[in-house]
Structure 1
Amino acid sequence: MLQAFRRVLVTLMVFLCVAPLVKAAETGEENSDSPIDVMGKVVDHHYLALPGYELQLPRIMLVDGEWHFYASTHAAVESGEFVEQDHVLVPADGSDITLDMSITAHLMYVWFGVLLTLWLTIAMARRYRRGTGRETEPRGWFQNLFEIVFVFVQDEIAKQNISEDKYRKFVPYLFAVFVAITFMNLFGLLPWGVTATADITVTAILAFITFIITQWNGSRDHWEHVFWFPGVPPLMRVILTPIEIIGLFTKPFALAVRLFANMLSGKVMIICILGLIFIFADLFGAVAGVGVSLFSVPLTAALYILKAFVGILQAYIFTLLSAVFIGMAVEEHEHHEEGIEAHA
């Protein structure tokens, strides 16, 4: 029984590791002479990759004040109003696209992560409303796991970094962003899956939401420390105020870049290591490719486990830093400005 389970596990791991690369290799052969197209696998697409099929996504574009709606890129080209140049859709008359609101694969996986988070929280809320987990013990591994994650976010992230009287207000957001980012990070481990957080646009929007929540809830004391610096000599304020204003924007910038860079690098690393199989096969023949696979496949399997851990870790770091920034903004301080200025 154990031996059979091991065989199934190995087969599944090979499938998970190799299948996405086979698709990437096919794309690379179509687009260039390279045996594998690394960037073609990482960049965003206007189709949703499924096993053996590509589901084309709608194209929505504003050109010269007029909206254009098409079911797919192919439909836009067939209309005669657009042409495809280097896999980019451009108007046939040479005008520029003012605004492109087309649906992409990364956007679809963002929606998947958000919808799963909503479904999870609503389903658990209904259970607690019926008394399961509130009047009785939580039932089932799913509810127990949910409660562990929620309590962890509440007690170890929110409560530890936001003041005692204000942290509960931010628990729903912190929990939602932790779960949603975890889902988006782990989607990339699925065959033909996409890591939405490997897109700087996605992480920038997430960081922007944290920025808005932080500044909207900033206390009077927070803004005094940005523009006035109580207790600091006037000349020093001229130097410190610009630094603090810049700091308001560098914090969300760091949030966005950290999450994006970590998730993108992990995806590229897996593709490159598995890509050695196709590169060696192209240069030295099929036997060399098979030989390299004895090294690449086990290493990629280990990287998959590591990437799953990193995906959860990066969601935790993003949530933790969001809590830290919010806590700093809502915190109240005691000042002794008059005494300090008197000594000055």
Structure 2
Amino acid sequence: MAFKRFKSLSVAVFSLFLVLFSSSAMANEGKGAEGKFDPGKEMLDHIADAHEFHFFTIKHEGGHDFHATLPLPVILYSPQRGLSVFMSSKFHHGEEIHNGYKLVEHDIIPVKEDGSVDESVKVFDFSLTKNVVQMFLALTILFLILTGMAKKYKKGQGLTSAPKGLQNAIEPVILFVRDDVARPNLGVKADKYLPYLLTLFFFILVNNLFGLLPGSANVTGNIAFTMVLGIIAFVVILFSTNAHYWGHIFWYPGVPVGVKFLMLPVELMGVFTKPFALIIRLFANMTAGHIIILSFVSLIFIFGEMTKTAGIAFTPVSIAFAVFIYLIEVLVAFIQAYIFTTLTAVFISQAIGDHHYEEDPHH
């Protein structure tokens, strides 16, 4: 009981640290052109991709602000200017021009000597942004954890003896995906798709959890990330189809001919809406959670601009709600990985079809 209380207290303290960390950063950064706090701009900046990990900014009256950042490599290719490789720190947070390029918000644009946009130059940005770096970091950690577990199983630990360490935490999850996601939906073909489903589940989960760390990127809240996962799922679904599946799409059995023509565009559209639903569901849920947390934190500064007393009085309420939503987000990280994996398994099973059942045209 005491250990459970200690864990709950640890989570609460860590969550409070996250909120206060975000509050400090937002207080120093979220000023608009007129010196007023702009919550909309601040939220979009926090969830957007960038060419650096930006933790916080300390304003100085002299104009020399201190930015706590981790610069990332910038890789640009232009048919007119060739290849340019340098660190994002060369931009000095958008204040300077480097190699004929300037950082505006989160985009790099080609400029002339006078600083105006050079429309004649086309740029392809292959930079390692914070989303890309964090995704590879999460993938590396996941690879090391799972390969380490595999080595233990090869030595007999977990087979001839009780599992230890991370085996105790991850093995039940693997069995859950196999027994409650793959087998109920895919039946005898579950083992064929299990490696893909497990990779999908853990890859989404580890990126969801990484996105909750202070100063990290919201990778799964990026539409490009979820789109790639959706396209991969779409390809897997298409390669799993057969004549039985397409027969139900183009000439649905068991219904009148007139209805067949009405159902054709609906069924054909369903082929594309399934991966689209996967893409939007994960993107929207992970983005919404971060925005809600930032909204509660923003209320401190919105009330603070009215009166200092109101800002101080509302701070405990805002922090309490932000911590509550943060704890829910930890749960959502697992739920969204589960939902994406389960729906993918369901769509694959629909593509495989059931050859033992055909609709009776007399019913």
Q: Normalising by the residue count of structure 2, what TM-score does the alignment of the two structures yield?
A: 0.83
Report what 1:333 is aligned to.
355
1:119-164 deviation line (CA, Å, top 9, x unaligned): 2221111111111112322123x101111000000000001111x2
2:277: which partner in 1?
Answer: 254
CA distance in structure 1 between the partners assigned to 2:11 and 2:357 by the alignment: 62
1:1-344 equivalence runs, <5 A:
11-29=13-31, 33-35=35-37, 36=39, 37-49=42-54, 53-64=68-79, 67-75=82-90, 78-92=97-111, 93-140=118-165, 142-162=166-186, 164-230=187-253, 235-285=258-308, 287-334=309-356, 340=361
Contact 1:61-1:100 at 8 Å conserved across structures: yes
Question: d(CA) in 2 for partners of 1:262 and 1:75?
Answer: 35
Whole-angstrom CA distance in 2 between matches of 1:262 and 1:304: 13
Residues 166 and 303 of structure 1: CA distance in aligned 2, closer, same or farther (over 3 Å) = same
Q: How far apart, in 2, do the equivalents of 1:297 and 1:261 lie?
A: 23
**Quick one: distance in 1 between partners of 2:330 and 2:101?**
41
Residue 66 (structure 1) shift: 5.9
CA distance in 2, matches of 1:334, 1:167: 18
Change (3 A) 1:125 1:7: closer
Instruction: Give the match's secondary structure for 2:354.
Output: coil
Assess, with a 3 A threshold, how the Cα gap between structure 1 residues 242 and 152 changes in structure 2: closer, same or farther: same
DSSP 3-state at the match of 2:108? strand
- Which residue of the partner structure matches residue 114 of structure 2? none
Tell me, what secondary structure is at the counterpart of 1:53?
Answer: strand
Deviation larger for 234-243 or 114-123: 234-243
Q: Distance in 1 between matches of 2:322 and 2:35?
A: 25
* C-alpha contact 1:56 1:71 (8 A) present in aligned 2: no
Report the CA distance shift for 1:134/1:32 in structure 2 as closer, same or farther (over 3 A). farther
CA distance in 2, matches of 1:158, 1:237: 32
Residues 83 and 91 of structure 1 are in contact (CA less than 8 Å); yes or no, is this contact kept in structure 2? yes
2:18 partner letter? L
Q: Which runs of 5+ in 2 are unaligned?
A: 57-66, 112-117
Contact 1:50–1:192 under 8 Å retained in 2: yes
The answer on whether the counterparts of 2:110 and 2:123 sit within 8 Å (CA) in structure 1 is: no
Work out the number of aligned pairs and report it.
336
Q: Aligned pair in 2 of structure 1 residues 149, 237: CA closer, same or farther (>3 Å)? A: same
Q: Percent identity?
A: 31
Structural RMSD (CA): 2.8
- Residue 13 of structure 1: CA displacement? 3.2
Over 3 Å counting, the alpha-carbon distance change for 1:95 and 1:74 in structure 2 is farther
Distance in 2 between residues matched to 1:90 and 1:132, nearest whole Å: 55
Distance of 1:24 and 1:75 partners within structure 2: 24
Higher fraction of helix = 1
Change (3 A) 1:87 1:230: closer
What amino acid maps onto 2:272 in structure 1? Answer: F
Alpha-carbon deviation of 1:117? Answer: 2.4
Q: Which residue of 1 aligns with 2:62?
A: none
State which drifts further: 37-46 or 49-58: 49-58
Deviation at 1:234, TM superposition (A): 5.2
Quote how far apart the aligned CAs of 1:116 are.
Answer: 2.5
